[in-house]
Structure 1
């Protein structure tokens, strides 16, 4: 299971941060949001303990802020 936090530049939720959860083996796509909020710290509280955070890299989606694996 991995979680991805996207910034407020998305077309679907302008001005809001979006947390998405991806299951292992899930095909790439745009899953239903796990959470939507104007404050990214509120969404970070929804991420289970024990996952490690990875910041975005050069090839990632421009709106992706962080990923937890």
Structure 2
């Protein structure tokens, strides 16, 4: 699978566009809202894309990082 579902309807992302996975902090709300339009309920982490977008996700940062590493190593 080359696409990661971020936990919200219609929000998925190709793994090759991920450049960072951040722990969610309210200080990121403005960046999330700029990209996504609002800050949805239940955000646990934020995925930063190669295009500079900050996307919210319901996954924990450690879960996302493990999946991203598996994808990069060809296991996913």
Q: Same fold (TM over 0.5)?
A: no
TM-score range, shorter chain: 0.3 to 0.5
Q: Higher helix share goes to which structure?
A: 2
Structure with more contact order per residue of length (Cα contacts < 8 Å, sep ≥ 6): 1
Using the size of structure 2 for normalisation, the TM-score is 0.36
